[in-house]
């Protein structure tokens, strides 16, 4: 029988040292943390074989709470630290958690080049459509027409899709889930970690405090229902009329391809250089 959440909490969380956590009641980050530790458990990864890196933001606090090798880095630069760690010790499973602002605004350039480089890292990107920790400023994924502290008369910029950006930049595994679909999220994170190459799992999440309250969704249940009603599975998407898809997003595995990973290629270059 697989262990229950209480057992997993004792096994994987720094519950004596680092709790209570800083997240608001009902924050989607707790669901994502649960999915992450269930995925690690299912993969039977040793705690010392996992490195969990984060940037800055509410998402960035996740590394504080788990009992792996962890590194809480600077805003937008988690992938650069993770790159160094993986290159120094390729046997480690290096998993990175970032917010939408962290990964695609200040860290946007690092993100697209990490995807293009195809180093074997797993990036979990929590898309709550807002800068949560700093008080609700618009991020690159804040929808057109939404309210935020920096777009009090509605956002006139257009959001981009993190998952589609990752596909275009060359990530070899790209998936999108939501905190409403938690069981599916466990599997997507598990597959992302298992994949050899740069993997991205975008998680649509609720920040009902900074995003929801300004957009008539001020409680977690309303936001979870919004996520449920706006998610379309990849399998069903072709059956949905295109004009009703414009405000929806696709969930599931969006890309899964095999290409040589950076470390294998780098070893070949080392061999070539040695023969010279």
Q: In 3D, which of 48, 256, 36, 44 has the Cα closest to residue 125?
A: 36
Binder of ligand TPP out of 131, 173, 180, 226 (CB under 6 A): 131
Could you say which residues in the range 225-254 bind ligand TPP, by CB under 6 A?
none
What is the nearest approach in angstroms of ligand TPP to the Cβ of residue 76? Answer: 7
The yes or no reply on residue 63 touching ligand TPP (CB under 6 A) is no
Tell the smallest beta-carbon distance from residue 153 to ligand TPP (Å). Answer: 21
Length of the chain: 276
Min CB(55)–ligand TPP separation in Å: 7
By CB under 6 A, residue 59 contacts ligand TPP: yes
Does 53 bind ligand TPP (CB under 6 A)? Our answer is: no
Is residue 149 close enough to count as binding ligand TPP by CB under 6 A? Answer: no
The pairs formed by 148-154 with CB atoms below 8 angstroms and a separation of 24 or more are 148/210, 148/211, 148/214, 149/214
Structural element, H or E, at residue 243: none
Q: What is the closest distance, in whole angstroms, from the C-beta atom of residue 80 to ligand TPP in the complex? A: 13
Written as six digits, the tokens of 32 are 């994502």
Q: Given candidates 38, 75, 181, 187, which one binds ligand TPP under the rule CB under 6 A?
A: 75
- Complex with ligand TPP: residue 58 or 162, whichever CB lies closer: 58
Q: Pairing between strand 249-256 and 173-178?
A: antiparallel
The one among 78, 82, 96, 133 contacting ligand TPP by CB under 6 A: 133
Question: Which of 64, 69, 134, 150: binder of ligand TPP (CB under 6 A)?
Answer: 134
Residue 128 makes contact with ligand TPP by CB under 6 A? yes
Rg (Cα) of the chain, in Å, rounded? 18
Of the residues 40, 51, 53, 58, which one makes contact with ligand TPP according to CB under 6 A: 58
Helix 78-88 and helix 108-117: axis angle, to 10°? 30
Name the segment binding ligand TPP (CB under 6 A); options: 93-101, 146-154, 235-243, 259-267: 93-101
Record the tokens describing residue 126, joined without a space. 């929590």
d(CA 107, CA 74): 10
> Does residue 100 interact with ligand TPP by CB under 6 A?
yes
Decide: is 132 part of the binding site for ligand TPP (CB under 6 A).
yes
Q: Are 133 and 185 in contact (CB under 8 A)?
A: no
Looking at the chain, list the stretches that DSSP marks H as alpha helix, in order from N- to C-terminal side: 5-12, 29-43, 62-65, 78-88, 100-101, 108-117, 162-169, 182-194, 220-230, 262-275
Choice from 56, 78, 85, 201 touching ligand TPP (CB under 6 A): 56
The site for ligand TPP (CB under 6 A) is made up of 56-59, 75, 99-102, 106, 126, 128, 130-134, 139
């Amino acid at each position: 029988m697989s262990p229950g959440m209480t057992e997993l909490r004792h096994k994987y969380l720094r519950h004596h040292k680092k709790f209570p956590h800083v997240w608001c009641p009902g924050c989607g980050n707790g669901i994502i943390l649960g999915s992450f530790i269930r995925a690690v458990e299912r993969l039977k990864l040793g705690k010392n074989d996992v490195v969990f890196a984060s940037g800055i933001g509410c998402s960035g606090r996740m590394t504080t709470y788990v009992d792996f090798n962890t590194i809480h880095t600077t805003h937008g630069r988690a992938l650069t630290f993770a790159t160094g760690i993986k290159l120094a010790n390729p046997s480690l499973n290096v998993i990175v958690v970032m917010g939408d602002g962290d990964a695609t605004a200040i860290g946007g350039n690092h993100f697209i080049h990490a995807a293009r480089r195809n180093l074997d890292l797993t990036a979990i990107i929590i898309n709550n459509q807002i800068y949560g920790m700093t008080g609700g400023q618009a991020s690159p994924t804040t929808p057109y027409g939404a309210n935020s502290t920096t777009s009090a008369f509605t956002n006139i910029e257009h959001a981009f899709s993190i998952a589609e950006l990752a596909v275009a930049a060359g990530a070899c595994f790209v998936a999108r889930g939501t905190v409403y679909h938690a069981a599916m999220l466990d599997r997507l994170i598990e597959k992302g970690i298992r994949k050899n190459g740069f993997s991205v799992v975008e998680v649509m999440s609720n920040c009902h405090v900074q995003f929801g309250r300004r957009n008539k969704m001020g409680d977690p249940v309303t936001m979870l229902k919004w996520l449920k009603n706006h998610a379309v599975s990849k399998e069903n998407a072709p059956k949905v009329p295109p004009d009703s898809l414009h405000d929806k997003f696709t969930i599931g595995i969006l890309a899964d391809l095999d290409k040589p990973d950076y470390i294998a290629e780098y070893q070949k270059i080392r061999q070539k250089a040695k023969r010279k």
